[in-house]
Every structure is written in C-alpha cells, then in structure tokens.
Amino acid sequence: MPRYAMVIDLQRCVGCGSCSISCRNENNVSEGVYWSHKITETSGKFPNVRYHYIPTLCNHCENPPCVRGCPTQAMHKLDNGITMHDPNKCIGCRYCMINCPYGVIYFNWKNAHSAWKAENSLIKGVTSSPAEEVRKTGGKGIPYYNPERNVTLAGIRPKGVVEKCTFCDHRVNEGKLPRCVEACPADARIFGDLDNPQSQVNQLLGKFRPFRLKEAVGTEPAVFYIRDFSAAGYPRTKGGV
C-alpha cells in the first residue's frame, strides 16, 4: 500500500491561491471553509519589507491527534496514509478540531451553501434566483456541484459534522493527482508515495532539507516544505561593527 505525502516547493509557489480555489470547487466546499489555505506574513519595515506565503492543508499526519481523540472513529486513517473522515459516524463533538494543532478541520455550523437556497431575484422576471439556478442546472445544492466527490464522501457535508482535506482520496483512487496539485500553475505541489524510493517526493526530500509545520509537537505530518518563498539575492557584505 502506498504512503501518500506532498512536497510543497515554496520557491515555485507564487502565492496565487489556485490550489485553494480549485480545491473549494472540486470538493463542493462552502464559504468560510478552507480545506486548502495559507499562512501569510508581511515582515520587516518599509522599505525593507517582504511578503511570505506558505500554502497549508491537512497534513495527513502519521501520528494524528484528530484520529486518536475521535470518540467514534469517524476520523480515521486509510491504508494509504490519508486521514479520512466519515460523516456517518461523526457526532459533531469537534474534539478533532481541538486536538488538531493546525486548525485545518472545519465544522458545519449551518447547512452548507445556504446562500444558494435564496429564492429572490433582483429584477423580477428578468434575473434568476440562486435556488432557481440550482434547479435549472441540475447541480446538487450548487450549480457547479461536482458529483465525483460524492463517490467516497458526501458530496456536500451535512450540518453538524466536520470536514477537511482528504488529499482528494476520490481522485487518488482513480490514479489522479489531488486537484490542488493539478491546478497549481507553478507546479509547486508534488504528490507521491513515501514507500516508493524512486518517487519524486522522495527524491526531493533527499535533495533539500524539508521542514514541516509545528514539527516539535510530534504529529509527523506528511506535508513537507522545501526551499523558500523569497529567493532573493542581496549585495555581498560582511556587515560591520
């Protein structure tokens, strides 16, 4: 069985967010929920100021606190290393959210895509309404509903359960890369099998000194970062006293 991981090359990453928006699209995720997200920082003082961007997602930890603390095993590990969630077993206790040190789990406090239930049109008889648009297109819940997500997990998660990135397990099962990896214009996300010594992820992990988020807490994330977002050079100097 493979042991999936992702390497994110910060030098290639341009901070565009295509990963996060395409993920939102692929997984029918509702507003305010970010399966793929980011940490940004503006550091320094003008004019010596930089902007940094670290793409984030569920780390699919080898030692996952969310799974260990889940009372119903709704949060569980798949054989391929993916940390998966089963909404049918979820009781909405949100212990996983408390246990996760990364804040990558989200709770459905309300019905997803509630804005698409509105029946009002702005110009009577001329413009549509969100609900009418959904009906006419035949999408479930949203006009651009992706039914392929529904093969392994509820296409739209119900109120009262949590949700998070699943490394696009539904795509991986079909031999396809996670959507964020496919959508990244910079090829900054590299997916692969840690148990395959020849995989590109292993080659990169050997070539560069990777870091992982909150390394010290012992979660053993499967998301590794290499190189730097800012690849700037600077004028050679020894500094001074």
Chain positions 171 to 200 lying near another protein, rule: CB under 8 A, are: 171, 173-176, 179, 182-183, 185-188
For tokens 């003082």, the residue is: 45
Task: Report whether 222 contacts 65 (CB < 8 A).
Answer: no
Is residue 237 exposed (0-12), middle (13-18) or buried (19+ Cβ within 10 Å)?
exposed
Sign of CA dihedral 63, 67, 73, 77: negative
- What are the beta bridge partners of residue 6? 191, 223
Distance CA 106, CA 144 (A): 22
Contacting another protein within 221-240 (CB under 8 A): 229-235
Interface residue with another protein among 63, 73, 114, 137 (CB under 8 A) is 137
Interface residue with another protein among 68, 110, 117, 136 (CB under 8 A) is 136
Interface residue with another protein among 54, 62, 77, 78 (CB under 8 A) is 78
Nearer CB in complex with another protein: 126/216 = 126
- What are the beta bridge partners of residue 50? 43
Interface residue with another protein among 87, 97, 111, 133 (CB under 8 A) is 133
User: Residues 91-110: x/- map of binding to another protein (CB under 8 A)?
Assistant: --------------------
- CB 101 to another protein: min, Å: 22
- State which amino acid sits at residue 188: A
- CB 12 to another protein: min, Å: 3
Task: Report whether 81 contacts 194 (CB < 8 A).
Answer: yes
Taking phi first (over 0 means left), then psi (-120 to 50 degrees means alpha), and beta for anything else, what does residue 102 get?
alpha
Q: How far is CA 189 from CA 160, 192, 211, in A?
A: 32, 10, 15
Contacting another protein within 47-76 (CB under 8 A): 47, 49-53
SS3 211: strand
Nearer CB in complex with another protein: 12/94 = 12
123 belongs to the binding site for another protein (CB under 8 A):
yes
In 3D space, the residue among 43, 59, 60, 39 whose CA is nearest the CA of residue 51 turns out to be 43
Contacting another protein within 199-218 (CB under 8 A): none
* Count of residues in contact with another protein, rule CB under 8 A: 80
Interface residue with another protein among 121, 154, 203, 212 (CB under 8 A) is 121
User: Residues 11-30: x/- map of binding to another protein (CB under 8 A)?
Assistant: xxxxxxxx-xxx-xxx----
Interface residue with another protein among 60, 164, 170, 189 (CB under 8 A) is 170
